[in-house]
């Protein structure tokens, strides 16, 4: 009998890849997703339970039915521009929903929790490779809401013995090399698929949001991690906890996941042109509110403790896998 893991947001981009990785590691992933931004077609590696995180009765029902040994929490609102203009949506949709989930988790007697956080909790630390000790000074409601959830997990560790592993990371790119699942948003907001849409003629051009940042080519710099490397870290964090090496009897452990290297928007565009051997139509646009100049993360702690290495996280590899999915993948429902 495979142990079950409840995966919130398992019908989304990162969550669906996590379900594949969990299945390969010997678990049965149970996807819990409202399908507001996720896709039923992305649920391929275990049972699906439709539901909203604000629906406590539905959560209790799912916990009782599947009896998970752990929760892996990906479900979240994550658009920076929207977080700037609609902060209330993010405090309700991320913080209140996560509180409901945490309380349901504890009520079901589950004490192992893996949380997908973000390096957006740090804000703008220009020229610094971020690590787990960097001060958290978020610039928008998205980063602030994720930081608040981290604080909740620490509080429930102290009060109820909840054990959690928290992962902070920046941009995720690439796709499952087998093209069973991939990145597919409606509307699309992430850089790599937007570039590939422009290359493929699915949009007239890529809009570069801000060309006057204090960087070498005037565009923002971000760290990118291959989605399969990222979800491997989440599974490693889960297995580390279950082996008795992680937090026990109430505790949290934070890991940053990054390559330590950043790519500007124009560098990503150039790499995509090289991989696809096609021109990338581009146009300049204004800065987006809440965007930091340069955000790069290290991962020494994750390497030392979990044995995690971002082997797939080269820009050509991420774009090659994304391009393969882009040409052959997609969801209809």
pLDDT of residue 189: 84
Kindly state the average pLDDT of the residues 56-75. Answer: 98
CA distance 174 to 123: 25
Strand partners for 263: 222
CA distance 218 to 193: 21
In the predicted structure, residue 3 carries a pLDDT above the cut 80: yes
pLDDT of residue 82: 85
Q: Is 173 helix (H, G, I), strand (E, B) or coil?
A: strand
Catalytic-role residue among 13, 32, 90, 142: 142
pLDDT of residue 247: 84
List, for residues 80-126, the tens digit of each pLDDT value.
778 888 989 999 999 999 999 999 999 999 999 999 999 889 987 76
CA distance 11 to 8: 8
Kindly state the average pLDDT of the residues 277-304. Answer: 89
pLDDT of residue 290: 67
Of 227, 226, 322, 191, the residue nearest 17 (C-alpha): 227
CA distance 213 to 148: 29
CA distance 51 to 6: 12
pLDDT of residue 295: 83
Instruction: Retrieve residue 86's tokens.
Output: 């609609």
pLDDT of residue 193: 92
β 171-173/263-264 pair status: unpaired
CA distance 237 to 83: 29
Kindly state the average pLDDT of the residues 150-173. Answer: 96
pLDDT of residue 34: 97
Assess whether 224 carries a catalytic annotation.
Answer: no
List, for residues 231-277, the tens digit of each pLDDT value.
999 999 999 999 998 888 889 999 999 999 899 999 999 999 999 99
CA distance 81 to 289: 6
Higher pLDDT, 2 or 257: 257
pLDDT of residue 72: 98
166 close to 118: Cβ distance less than 8 angstroms: no
């Amino acid at each position: 009998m495979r142990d079950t893991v409840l995966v919130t947001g398992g019908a989304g981009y990162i969550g669906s890849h996590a379900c594949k990785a969990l299945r390969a590691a010997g678990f049965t992933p149970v996807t819990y997703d409202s399908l507001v931004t996720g896709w039923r077609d992305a649920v391929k590696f275990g049972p699906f339970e439709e539901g909203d995180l604000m629906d406590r009765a539905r959560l209790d029902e799912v916990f009782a039915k599947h009896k998970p040994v752990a929760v892996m929490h990906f479900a979240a609102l994550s658009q920076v521009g929207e977080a700037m203009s609609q902060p209330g949506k993010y405090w309700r949709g991320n913080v209140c929903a996560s509180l409901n989930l945490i309380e349901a988790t504890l009520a079901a007697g589950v004490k192992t929790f893996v949380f997908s956080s973000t390096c957006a909790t740090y804000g703008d630390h220009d020229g610094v490779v971020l690590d787990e000790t960097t001060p958290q000074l978020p610039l928008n409601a998205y980063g602030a809401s994720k930081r608040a959830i981290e604080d909740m997990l620490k509080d429930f560790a102290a009060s109820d013995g909840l054990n959690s592993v928290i992962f902070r990371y920046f941009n995720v790119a690439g796709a499952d090399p087998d093209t069973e699942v991939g990145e597919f948003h409606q509307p699309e907001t992430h850089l790599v698929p937007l570039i590939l849409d422009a290359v493929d003629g699915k949009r007239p051009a890529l809009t570069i949001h801000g060309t006057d940042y204090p960087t070498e080519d005037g565009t923002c710099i971000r760290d990118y991690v291959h989605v399969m490397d990222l979800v491997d870290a989440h599974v490693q964090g889960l297995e580390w906890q279950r082996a008795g090496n992680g937090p026990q009897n109430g505790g949290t452990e934070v890991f940053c996941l990054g390559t330590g290297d950043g790519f500007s928007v124009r560098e990503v565009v150039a790499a995509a042109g090289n991989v696809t051997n096609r021109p990338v139509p581009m146009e300049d646009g204004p800065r987006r509110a809440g965007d930091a100049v340069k955000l790069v993360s290290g991962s020494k702690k994750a390497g030392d403790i979990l044995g995690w290495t971002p082997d797939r996280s080269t820009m050509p590899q991420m774009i090659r896998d994304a391009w393969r999915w882009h040409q052959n993948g997609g969801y209809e429902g």
